[in-house]
Amino acid sequence: MDIETKNKTQQALQAIAEQVLEASKKHGATDAELSMSRGTGLSVEIHMDKVDKLEYHRDQGLNLTVYMGQHTGSASSSDLSPQAIEDTVKAACNIAKFTGEDEFTGLAPAELMAETKANNDSLDLYHPWDLAAEQAIDIARECETAARDYDKRIINSDGASISTYSGVSLIANSHGFMGIIPSSRHSLSCSVIGQEKGDSDMQRDYWYSTARKNEALETPKRVGEKAAERTLARLRGKQINTRESAVLYSPEMARSLLGHFTSAIGGGAQYRKSTFLLDSVGEKIFPEFIRLHEQPHLPGGFSSSCFDKEGVATKDRDIVTDGVVQSYILSSYTARQLGLQTTANAGGTHNLTLESTGQSLNELLKELGTGFFVTELIGSGVNAITGDYSRGAAGFWVENGVIQYPVEEVTVAGNLKDMFQNIIAVGNDIDLRSGTRTGSILVDGMMIAGK
């Protein structure tokens, strides 16, 4: 979707949004809010040098929520024709007539809305890639070939894939708010299988690169070689004995620890009292060197936005300062349940960032000394109410700060509240490939269950 098409799409979506809001009022809604999107993309998958899948994407959709007093109705449509819009509005309003009354429902407060006609253009999120199918196939093939040719121990491939998507989203409500979100995202990935000669054991690993701008992607050769390197490093894995040890989580795995924390302090978990961090604002949950904050206006960030999904203006804010929880993560609905104000987190956090304590990965390995470096987590054995944590894991055993051999078929366990308190350091090897930005996290006092 080029710039001219993007601008026409924005104008078309704005016109449709005004129609939807007007029709909602006509059918009896006291308030309404909606989200719409329209975009195009291309994806290619290569397996053993052959095209496995080639898809063009052209999608659009409308999600509408109407309020009749304290009654709510929702409907959606992928057809944005006038008749389909009318039918969708009628359906939402009819549903609202039959739903129960909920005193906490409704739009976010009008005074918290981002400025009218808000636009995320200033955040540098839109960089379409005019990628032809033939070019995409060549890039994916180059990536897979680089992985397969890297070493004779790479015996098979799970394939390489490339995708590009660009489009426009819109959020609007009957407060008069209308926000535009033009965005793009491109990615390249590869997964291969390795085996040592004379050994029946096989291992698989992968690597990927993703970016708003296609120029910022890692080269196909680098992605393929990194996938091969990671696969070969896992060959001849061992199962270690059960023991207590410090655990170093790679950045890709460390993100999940932050995800458990943000879920625990989310408004839904708080008002339902279904969290191990109930009423935790003001409590020291982490060591005092921990700072966790949102940066919603980072140029090019994967979760950057001037407003949340309810149109509430976003701003930089600390969630944890000096180890102490400063605020919950709230939408307007969950905020009302708790007698608080929304934190502009309807739809999630915006570039959640854990500040590093300054060490490189090699320095963290030395600080780990003897322990387990986790590069893969398996399963979802986390109890959100008690904080009990138990997940299958693979990675590397470290002694005297040096990786000794790969480890597989073990379980790392603990309690999240203890794990948060036992964080020793956060690396500067920050992974920027998602809306949660963190380096490796070193945690003391974990139980490793092996043979």
Residues 336 and 388 in one domain: yes
Residues 267 and 227 in one domain: no
Residues 218 and 264 in one domain: no
- CATH classification of the domain holding 85: 3.30.2290.10
430 residue type, one letter:
I
The residues with which 411 forms a beta bridge, in sequence order, are 392, 449
Domain with 332, as residue range(s), is 237-451
Residue 369 has which token pair?
């000394």
How many Cβ atoms are within 10 Å of 132's Cβ, its own excluded? 9
Burial of 240 (0-12, 13-18, 19+ CB in 10 A): middle
Q: What SS3 state is found at 155? A: strand
Residues 146 and 260 in one domain: no
Give the H or E element holding residue 134: helix 133-148
Residues 9 and 103 in one domain: yes
Which domain-ending residue is among 213, 233, 253?
233
CB-based contact 434:362 (threshold 8 Å): no
Residue 393 has which token pair?
């894991």
- Residues 6 or more apart whose Cβ sits within 8 Å of residue 215: none
Q: What is the dihedral of CA 98, 103, 107, 109, to 10 degrees?
A: 170
As a three-state string, the secondary structure of 4-28 is HHHHHHHHHHHHHHHHHHHHHHHCC
In 251-273, which positions are buried (b, 16+ CB within 10 angstroms) versus exposed (e)?
Answer: bbbbbbbbebbbebbbbbbbbee
Q: What is the pTM of this model?
A: 0.94
361 residue type, one letter:
L
In order along its 451 residues, the chain shows pLDDT tens digits of: 777 888 899 999 999 999 999 999 999 999 999 999 999 999 999 999 999 999 999 999 999 999 999 999 999 999 999 999 999 999 999 999 999 999 999 999 999 999 865 567 789 999 999 999 999 999 999 999 999 999 999 999 999 999 999 999 999 999 999 999 999 999 999 999 999 988 888 999 999 999 999 999 999 999 999 999 999 999 999 999 999 999 999 999 999 999 999 999 999 999 999 999 999 999 999 999 999 999 999 999 999 999 999 999 999 999 999 999 999 999 999 999 999 999 999 999 999 999 999 999 999 999 999 999 999 999 888 999 999 999 999 999 999 999 999 999 999 999 999 999 999 999 999 999 999 999 999 999 999 999 8
Residues 259 and 222 in one domain: no
CA-based nearest residue to 35, from 128, 170, 176? 170
- Residues 6 or more apart whose Cβ sits within 8 Å of residue 345: 308, 329, 330, 331
**What ranges in 234-278 are assigned the alpha helix state H?**
251-264, 267-271
Give the H or E element holding residue 89: helix 82-96
Burial of 306 (0-12, 13-18, 19+ CB in 10 A): buried
Residues 227 and 245 in one domain: no
Q: What SS3 state is found at 330? A: coil
CB-based contact 346:329 (threshold 8 Å): no
Residues 359 and 218 in one domain: no
Residues 225 and 353 in one domain: no
Residues 294 and 203 in one domain: no
Place of tokens 């909606």: 34
- What is the rounded distance in angstroms from the CA atom of residue 276 to the CA atom of residue 293? 21
Residues 180 and 199 in one domain: yes
- What is the rounded distance in angstroms from the CA atom of residue 313 to the CA atom of residue 291? 22
- Residues 6 or more apart whose Cβ sits within 8 Å of residue 255: 431, 434, 436, 438
- Residues 6 or more apart whose Cβ sits within 8 Å of residue 437: 351, 352, 353, 354, 430, 431
Residue 270 has which token pair?
């708080």
Residue 119 has a pLDDT of 65
Which domain-ending residue is among 233, 262, 288?
233
Which domain-ending residue is among 181, 209, 233?
233
- Residues 387, 392, 395, 401, CA torsion sign: positive
- Number of structural domains (the chain) is 2
Residues 387 and 307 in one domain: yes
277 residue type, one letter:
L
